[in-house]
A and B are shown apart, each in its own frame.
Chain A
Amino acid sequence: MPKKVVHYINQFFAGIGGEDKADYKPEIRAGIVGPGLALKAALGNEYEVVATVICGDNYFGSNIDKGVVPELLEMIKKYQPEGFVAGPAFNAGRYGVACGTIAKAVQDELKIPAVTGMYTENPGVDMFKKDIYIIQTKDSSADMRHAMPKLAALLKKQMAGQEVLGPKEEGYIEKGIRVNYFNERRGSERAVDLLVAKIKGEPIYTDYPLPVVDKVSPAPALKDLAHARIALVTSGGIVPQGNPDHIESSSASKWGKYSIAGMDHADKKDFMTVHGGYDRAFITEDPDLCIPVDVLRDLEKKGFIGKLMDYFITTTGTGTATNSAKRFAEEFVPILKKDQVDAVLLVST
């Protein structure tokens, strides 16, 4: 039995039409359509393109929040594929975004390998390169005969459970994912040679290319502190005694929201710290050192600040991935907004 693959293409590659047909509604057809021929050839006899899903690029774009993805997934699921190919989209922007979106959804929801292909400047690249394999193509469909064998080869490798090598070996666009391996030489030895090369002005090399860092500008200053609602947010790992939500000592995967209602300070009988990155002795004795409830209550009483919120938000900062930190904020900021918090006191450790 050949292994089943489903292919996603847009209205243009399906031969339905160009811009005028970009509102074409989702449809699935048994067998190959258009570039499916090249895919079939590249996959070989042990694989079969059982169906082709077609969707107009504009329809996809304007229905992305209105259920087009689940609709397509339902269609695809019926064919019980073991692998999925979208595109390639070359430099077509809307098509690229559609290919990336559906490939990621198939990979996440149907738990099968998915591959697509794009030109490096396709906007779909930056949106999806971390999540799915995107074979690097040229900017037009003239590159189809070169691109499709690479898509097929990478898909087959994944379907067979073989190790996927680096972007250069496989032809995909660098995902920006850090993967471990054992180098032939130890790090210090490589560093010494690199330093000599750098001093001599020879070509330099880095194991870790500098990423573009997501900088957040500080919010404007508060105009009226005396009426401001203030919340405490900390990465210092303060939790209620017993750590009820099991927040990790390092590399946290979650955050917590805990009550300080009616407390005039943070007492050690109520709170502890699980943070694994600093000397816990002092905060264990006095949690106010990390969440200064005592001082803030005092300021509240004196009318220096309007109100201290009845809860604080907490996680462990040490070893915690920046993407996890970003997700935590995306989860708790709406709560702060809903509660009309004007400012937070961010306490790090």
Chain B
Amino acid sequence: MKLELGKIHIHDVQFGEKTKIENGVLYVNAKELEAEVLKDDRLAGCHIEVARPGESVRITPVKDVIEPRLKVEGPGCVFPGIMGKVTEVGKGVTYCMDGACVVTVGKIVGFQEGVIDMSGVAADYCPFSKTQNVCVVMEPKEGLETHVYEAAGRMAGLTAATYLAKALKGMTPDETITYETKPLLEQVAQYPDLPRVGYIHMLQSQGLLHDTYYYGVDAKQIVPTIMYPTEIFDGAIVSGNCVAPCDKVTTYHHEHNPVIEDLFKKHGKTLNFVGVVLTNENVFLMDKERHSDMVAKLCEYMGLEGALLTEEGYGNPDTDLMMNCRKVTQHGTKVVIITDEFPGRDGKSYSLADLTPEADTMISCGNGNIVLHFPAMDKIIGTQEAIEMQIGGWVGCKHEDGSFDAEIQIIIASTIANGFNHLCARQY
């Protein structure tokens, strides 16, 4: 399966009469976009705001972040099974709005929505402090049940991204990257001297605000399966969750999965990247046992010599992470884990809720419990009223001038546990 990603670089976002891209500037017709989002009768209101890197702007409570992408050649559409018919994706040509994002914002669903600061110290921790953000600020209908509100918010983001992506039509990419994975036997034969490597991608599937969708299927309902890596670049996986903001794998992070990107960088050089094993993180022990067994079996079946392993969230899924690590290792595939850590504000506690001796090679994405001072901002997109209850905050953490103190786990994707960032923890 071969996919060409054509990247159109965006370095600014502005409101405009017509939604279009010109000289690297994304112009957004806010009225048109609002109307598109408001076709969903679960929402009572919606307005669009823009936020650019360096501005004194805070966005919160953030639900998801999405990069607009457009299928230009090949079957299917971006976000298959959700924004269009279910058709296999991952081949042909796809254009990406590189550097621009849709950010969905609205009053809290759970406590799990986070913060994006466009400047200041917290901006160092957040990938979306560096992107041009089109914020979709939603108002749910009164009395809307939480599960329904979550679904409406998820769809609003995907709808907005699909609308903006139309502006990519007819553009000439600034940069093109081609990714290819052959059918298993051919792929193995292509680089016979290089180690066969795979990626075990654990999808969050614990419940409300803790769901992920693969071709529109709730990941709770899947059993482990094999995926061509390029499928993910076409939006085959969509986030429906906010776990803790810091290690939420946003839809953007699925589109930009760093493990897949970096495995492709070394593909044919130091390793042979043969495929992705998808699994989930269900809360029942029976599911955990069955699915970690199946993951180990699939790795063995694919003849993997090594696999990278990532989770989404912390605590309960640490168990799945360690069961996968142990069983895959015991089936003869070497494992490297990428994870973030929660050893407490003083850094003295255990970093994970579960461990196994096989987890002897772990790459850290940082300690999410570290407390940071968030300065007051000139403008708030959304509302700060729930900061004290959002994950990472506490009662009394908010100051009168609009600043607050919180653990960095309140920042969207600050310790995202797939190695997207440079943040790391070391032992002192």
A contact set with B: CB distance below 8 Å: 130, 164, 166-167, 174-196, 198-200, 204-211, 213, 243, 246, 248-251, 253, 274, 276-281, 317-319, 321-324
Closest chain-B Cβ to A51's Cβ sits at a distance in Å of 30
Rounded to whole angstroms, the CA-CA distance of A200 and B196 in the bound complex is 11
Cβ contact within 8 Å between B344 and A199: no
Rounded to whole angstroms, the CA-CA distance of A185 and B170 in the bound complex is 35
Cβ contact within 8 Å between A321 and B349: yes
| B360 within 8 Å of A (CB atoms) | yes
| B224 within 8 Å of A (CB atoms) | no
Cβ contact within 8 Å between A246 and B259: no
Closest chain-A Cβ to B368's Cβ sits at a distance in Å of 7
Question: What are 9 A-B contacts defined by CB distance under 8 Å?
Answer: A180-B423, A188-B308, A191-B419, A195-B197, A198-B334, A207-B364, A248-B394, A251-B391, A281-B208
Contacts of A164 in B (CB 8 A): 428
From B209, B314, B357, contact of A210 by CB (8 A): B357
Closest chain-A Cβ to B7's Cβ sits at a distance in Å of 18
Cβ contact within 8 Å between A318 and B315: yes
Rounded to whole angstroms, the CA-CA distance of A277 and B370 in the bound complex is 19
Contacts of A249 in B (CB 8 A): 111, 389-391, 393
Contacts of B186 in A (CB 8 A): none
| B39 within 8 Å of A (CB atoms) | no
Cβ contact within 8 Å between A208 and B308: no
Given contacts A281-B208, A323-B349, contact A185 B361 (CB under 8 A): no
Cβ contact within 8 Å between A210 and B146: no
Closest chain-A Cβ to B324's Cβ sits at a distance in Å of 15
Cβ contact within 8 Å between B361 and A198: yes
Rounded to whole angstroms, the CA-CA distance of A330 and B400 in the bound complex is 36
Cβ contact within 8 Å between B366 and A180: yes
Rounded to whole angstroms, the CA-CA distance of A193 and B370 in the bound complex is 28
Cβ contact within 8 Å between A207 and B424: yes
Cβ contact within 8 Å between A178 and B424: no
Cβ contact within 8 Å between B395 and A246: yes
Given contacts A177-B428, A178-B351, A274-B389, contact A187 B409 (CB under 8 A): no
From B306, B342, B343, contact of A198 by CB (8 A): B306
> Interface size of B by Cβ–Cβ distance < 8 Å?
81
The 4 tightest CB contacts between A and B, nearest first, are: A187-B419, A321-B344, A188-B419, A279-B208
Cβ contact within 8 Å between A251 and B271: no
Closest chain-B Cβ to A246's Cβ sits at a distance in Å of 4
B contact set with A: CB distance below 8 Å: 110-112, 124, 145-147, 195, 197, 206-210, 244, 258-259, 261-263, 265-266, 270-271, 305-308, 314-316, 334, 336, 338-339, 341-351, 355, 357, 359-370, 389-396, 407, 409, 418-428
Contacts of B428 in A (CB 8 A): 164, 166-167, 174-175, 177-179
Contacts of B306 in A (CB 8 A): 195-196, 198-199
Contacts of B346 in A (CB 8 A): 177, 321, 323
Closest chain-A Cβ to B309's Cβ sits at a distance in Å of 9
Q: Which of A176, A180, A243, A319 has the most CB of B within 10 A?
A: A180
Cβ contact within 8 Å between B244 and A192: no
Q: Is the interface of B mostly helix, strand, loop or mixed?
A: loop
Contacts of B364 in A (CB 8 A): 178, 187, 207-208
* A178-B348, A191-B419, A249-B390 known, 13 other contacts, Cβ within 8 Å: A179-B347, A179-B428, A188-B262, A189-B262, A196-B271, A199-B195, A210-B359, A243-B395, A276-B110, A319-B342, A321-B369, A322-B344, A322-B349
Contacts of A277 in B (CB 8 A): 244, 315-316
Contacts of A181 in B (CB 8 A): 423-426
Contacts of B424 in A (CB 8 A): 180-183, 187, 207
Rounded to whole angstroms, the CA-CA distance of A277 and B142 in the bound complex is 25
From A188, A274, A319, contact of B315 by CB (8 A): A319
Looking across the interface, which residue of chain B has its beta carbon closest to that of A280? B110
Cβ contact within 8 Å between B369 and A319: yes
Closest chain-B Cβ to A175's Cβ sits at a distance in Å of 5
Closest chain-A Cβ to B415's Cβ sits at a distance in Å of 9
From B308, B359, B393, contact of A192 by CB (8 A): B308
Given contacts A192-B263, A200-B195, A253-B394, contact A213 B315 (CB under 8 A): no
Given contacts A186-B258, A278-B207, contact A191 B338 (CB under 8 A): yes
From A189, A208, A279, A323, contact of B344 by CB (8 A): A323
Looking across the interface, which residue of chain A has its beta carbon closest to that of B243? A277
Cβ contact within 8 Å between B271 and A279: no
Cβ contact within 8 Å between B344 and A324: yes
Q: Which of A199, A243, A280, A281 has the most CB of B within 10 A?
A: A199
Cβ contact within 8 Å between B347 and A178: yes
Contacts of B207 in A (CB 8 A): 278-279
Cβ contact within 8 Å between A207 and B363: yes
Closest chain-A Cβ to B422's Cβ sits at a distance in Å of 5
Rounded to whole angstroms, the CA-CA distance of A289 and B116 in the bound complex is 35
From A213, A280, A323, contact of B355 by CB (8 A): A213
From A198, A200, A250, contact of B392 by CB (8 A): A250
Contacts of B355 in A (CB 8 A): 210-211, 213
From B265, B357, B370, contact of A180 by CB (8 A): B370
Given contacts A208-B364, A281-B147, A319-B368, contact A187 B391 (CB under 8 A): no
Closest chain-A Cβ to B194's Cβ sits at a distance in Å of 9
Given contacts A198-B336, A205-B361, contact A182 B423 (CB under 8 A): yes
Rounded to whole angstroms, the CA-CA distance of A317 and B316 in the bound complex is 10
Looking across the interface, which residue of chain B has its beta carbon closest to that of A277? B315
Cβ contact within 8 Å between B305 and A321: no
Contacts of A206 in B (CB 8 A): 360-362
Cβ contact within 8 Å between A187 and B365: yes
Rounded to whole angstroms, the CA-CA distance of A115 and B226 in the bound complex is 55
Contacts of B263 in A (CB 8 A): 192
Contacts of A178 in B (CB 8 A): 341, 343, 347-348, 351, 364, 367, 425-428
Cβ contact within 8 Å between A210 and B206: no
Cβ contact within 8 Å between A321 and B370: no
Rounded to whole angstroms, the CA-CA distance of A279 and B308 in the bound complex is 29
Rounded to whole angstroms, the CA-CA distance of A52 and B341 in the bound complex is 42
Given contacts A183-B422, A188-B418, A204-B361, contact A250 B111 (CB under 8 A): yes
From A130, A179, A243, A319, contact of B409 by CB (8 A): A319
Cβ contact within 8 Å between A208 and B421: no
Rounded to whole angstroms, the CA-CA distance of A205 and B392 in the bound complex is 30
Contacts of B427 in A (CB 8 A): 166-167, 174-179, 208-209
